[in-house]
Amino acid sequence: MTSSKPEFAAPPTTTGSAPSRQEVRCAVRFPIALPVVLATTHGDVPARTRNISASGALFELDQHISPGIGIRFSLRMPGSVLGTNHDVLVHCAGRVVRCSLSQHLYIAAATIDEYEFAEQ
């Protein structure tokens, strides 16, 4: 079942040093580190989430992943984070929007274009 869960709008926040640059987030982010495997057309890439929302995710990886590439992944969101009695398996599909090296890890941001809660 594909979710059309309501999202909560957050006030825009200013980022960076340029006063004209503004970032608008439309979904609540969960700062959570979960192991995940990103399935791409070039093979599987092991990763770990830094944070995730209904509209996107930030990943830590050991290798570069090209912006624009489509990804699929599944993760088990802890019930304690979602406020449910049990963990929830979520299947996601999206695309990488940026990837950069930060110290010794690559950090990749991706949109989540579709997500589906698995029947349990």
Which pLDDT band holds residue 10 (cuts at 50, 70, 90)?
very low
**Phi/psi at 100 (nearest 5 deg)?**
-145, 160
pLDDT in tens, 19-67: 444 555 567 888 999 999 999 999 999 999 999 998 999 999 999 999 9
User: Over 50: is that where the pLDDT of 11 sits?
Assistant: no
Q: Do 75 and 88 touch, CB atoms closer than 8 A?
A: no
- Give the model's pLDDT for residue 83: 86
CA 113 to chain centre: 10
What's the predicted TM-score (pTM) here? 0.76
Q: What average pLDDT score do residues 63-83 get? A: 93
Domain at 27-117: CATH architecture: Beta Barrel (2.40)
- From the list 106, 110, 93, the residue with the least C-alpha distance to 56 is 110
pLDDT in tens, 20-33: 445 555 678 889 99
Non-local (6+) Cβ contacts of 98 within 8 A are 67, 108, 109
Mean pLDDT (the chain) is: 83
Q: What average pLDDT score do residues 4-24 get? A: 40
Q: Do 48 and 33 touch, CB atoms closer than 8 A?
A: yes
